[in-house]
Amino acid sequence: MTKPAITHADGKTRCPWPGEDPFYVAYHDTEWGVPEYDDRALYEKLILDGFQAGLSWITILRKRDNFRKAFDDFQPEKIARYSEKKVHALMSDAGIVRNRAKIEGAILSAKGYLKIMEEGAGFSKYLWDFVDGKPLVNNFKTHGSVPASTPLSAKISKDLQARGFKFVGPTIVYAFMEATGMVNDHLVTCFCHEACMGLKRKPRLKTK
């Protein structure tokens, strides 16, 4: 795909990938590429990106609230203790992607997360230290110029896997880096490219 940014009816020029879908456009405008520094939120996004493997992100995004409810709002402390009974319940939940390997991977990743948290400054610092604490800003003009993975995403992937994380291949990690603002891959002509600079994701209110 060599698609350039497109100008929508509201006069704003955006990356082409959300198309005209209002739900997807809202995600592009308010979340994707905005730096995320919350430990738990970063874990959630990494797990959801793992569930995306083989699917489209919009599929996962539409099920995100169901995932949050099913996975105890992605609290690693709870997920790390999931029993076989809980896994069976998740496999019966039509509101999420029912893939046993990915569900069990989320549990193993939660254990890896807790180990990182115990080691020191936290999951956020662990991840952001790979980019020296600030977003890498690219200046791509077309969607086709954006890589699927990079040597850095491969490095992070290898380190995460060594710590017990699952479904964290280089491509998944790069998509995660883009979504959480570790990399600013909004096309240079997209209004979000500049808007994301200097921003920081606001904490999300937990679901009940």
Q: What are the φ and ψ backbone dihedral angles of 11, each rounded to 5 degrees? A: 90, -5
Decide: 173 and 26 in contact? Cβ < 8 Å: no
SS3 state at 121: coil
Tokens matching residue 8? 């929508």
Q: Is 171 exposed, middle or buried (0-12, 13-18, 19+ CB in 10 A)?
A: middle
Report whether 155 contacts 126 (CB < 8 A): no
Query: Residue 190, annotated ligand binder?
Result: yes
Other residues' Cβ atoms within 10 Å of the Cβ of residue 101: 11
Question: Is 196 annotated as a binding-site member?
Answer: no
Look-up: residue for tokens 């060594």? 162
| Pairing relationship of beta strands 13-14 and 6-7 according to DSSP bridges | antiparallel
Q: Does the annotation flag 193 for ligand binding?
A: no
Q: Cα(11)–Cα(123) distance, rounded to whole angstroms?
A: 38
Q: Which residues are annotated as a binding site?
A: 15, 28, 186, 190
Q: Which residues are annotated as a binding site for Zn(2+)?
A: 15, 28, 186, 190
